Structure 1
């Protein structure tokens, strides 16, 4: 368990650090051309940058502590309840939902960019607005996950449990089934298919809508990422 977990930890950390470097570079404004569409790419890159940072935080703290706890069969005590139970679950669910939401927003952004309708392309936010949206997402899920700190505790056997029965039902249905399962599957499936349809039309019409090859590559990458998330989210709905 420790060996497999450490492999996931090492490669996951390296992968997300590389993603952060790439998306940070893509977020920089390109001054060479006013109509190059780089601002559109930077919006999606900002979402993916926030997602990669969130994933890295999840790997560094919740995943590492999970590996150590399960690997050494360590039972949590009341003295370290806050760090290994309350704070760990707060960080895990907060940044996991932030990452998932940012990917959904990036997919929606790609849909708007690839749309043939001018009224939809006008909905594309500016870079400043995109940063505000990301900040709002951080604050929203940061506040939403506060009850995890309040209601999480340690059982007599030394495991993290939710002490409130009512919040346990909310956790199971709202957190696990809807926020991690149903909503991402529906959202990514819908806008992923619509984006794929638009990309095929754009390819046939030879970039008539001014979409660069790098934009199309980013869109295809997001489609593959969306497919992976959809497949991984199905168990939450079962």
Structure 2
């Protein structure tokens, strides 16, 4: 068997792998992030919680990233590649949007960990320092920075005949090699998220000593545990991809070396799928590791969304219920939201 046929087979395997994993990840990602949005926006206790606000932003960013990845998957299934190596504008736009979603998600996770550290701190002044209004300001500043940064760096990508869509600017290559990948989306978010989530967990272990309402204590413990699990998954899913990206930027493989190029594409497909799980996993982590979140999700999805939808359908069919039934349901839901 010739090396060209082997390399073609590896490329086909990489394409098929990207197609199937892309569809599966997209399906789970859309479902999980939509459910996250429903729970964190509809459940009463989460509406004024800063960490829940950050998780909501993360879910929106994750959804955008999911639609980007599925578009790349569709292009790959149609033409054999994601078309970034053939279209100049698409090459830039894909990298800009991917960086916007990626940086937003990474640093919103950091914000969640930092916020939990402050909100569970034994010092009252530190707890009062962070407010929902301040959190919105920080989120706005972050998104503005991410957009500007992503446009600046993404514009440095160009299409090379043998290499495809790569960074062509020397300064951008050096910046990506020594700061962007190893620091900005590597060490910095990992250190911030890990450190503050561990500190928040340490704070929560002493939370019983403080004079706080029991509902607030339970919510702090729940959110801190959820953030800690999210950070652990985030670190393990991020590091392999970052290492690979640093390597490929410094040692791009030409299409003129078909075997090496094919193996690189397969490795890229595998590591990208692992990295993309970061944009899918949050809801499922919360459901698995937090029994309280499972009950809260049940209240929102079954007692709120399903009942509203059923009541709306009944209204369309002119099946009018007694006026006191919705009020009774609302009172029952409000009592269940204090679980």
TM-score w.r.t. the length of structure 2 is: 0.61
User: Which of 109, 118, 124 is residue 115 of structure 2 equivalent to?
Assistant: 109
Worse overlay, 152-161 or 177-186: 152-161
Deviations 1:110-158 (A, max 9, x none): 1111111122112112x22222221111101100111234211112147
Residue 145 of structure 1 corresponds to: 150
Structure with higher Rg: it is 2
C-alpha separation in 2, matches of 1:55 and 1:141: 15
How much has 1:215 moved relative to structure 2? 2.8
How much has 1:25 moved relative to structure 2? 2.0
Residue 34 of structure 1 corresponds to: none
Deviations 1:51-103 (A, max 9, x none): 11011101101x123323444423637873213x1111101011111111111
How much has 1:107 moved relative to structure 2? 1.0
**1 or 2 for the larger relative contact order (CA 8 Å, sep ≥6)?**
2
Contact 1:75–1:157 at 8 Å: present in 2 too? no
Worse overlay, 15-24 or 66-75: 66-75
1:212 is paired with a residue whose SS is helix
Deviations 1:21-69 (A, max 9, x none): 112224x6x6xxxxxx973xx21111111111011101101x1233234
Go from structure 1 to structure 2 and tell me whether the alpha carbon gap of 1:190 and 1:158 turns closer, same or farther (over 3 Å shift).
closer
TM-score w.r.t. the length of structure 1 is: 0.84
Equivalences, count: 223
Task: Flag structure 1 segments of 5+ consecutive residues without an equivalent.
Answer: 31-36
Contact 1:151–1:163 at 8 Å: present in 2 too? yes
CA RMSD after TM alignment: 2.3
Is 1:74 matched with 2:81? yes
User: Which of 208, 211, 214 is residue 211 of structure 2 equivalent to?
Assistant: 208
Residue 97 of structure 1 corresponds to: 103
Contact 2:110–2:189 at 8 Å: present in 1 too? yes
The 5 Å alignment of 1:128-167 reads 128-157=133-162, 159-167=164-172
C-alpha separation in 1, matches of 2:28 and 2:93: 24
Contact 2:76–2:83 at 8 Å: present in 1 too? no
Go from structure 1 to structure 2 and tell me whether the alpha carbon gap of 1:116 and 1:176 turns closer, same or farther (over 3 Å shift).
same
2:166 is paired with a residue whose SS is strand
Is 1:59 matched with 2:66? yes
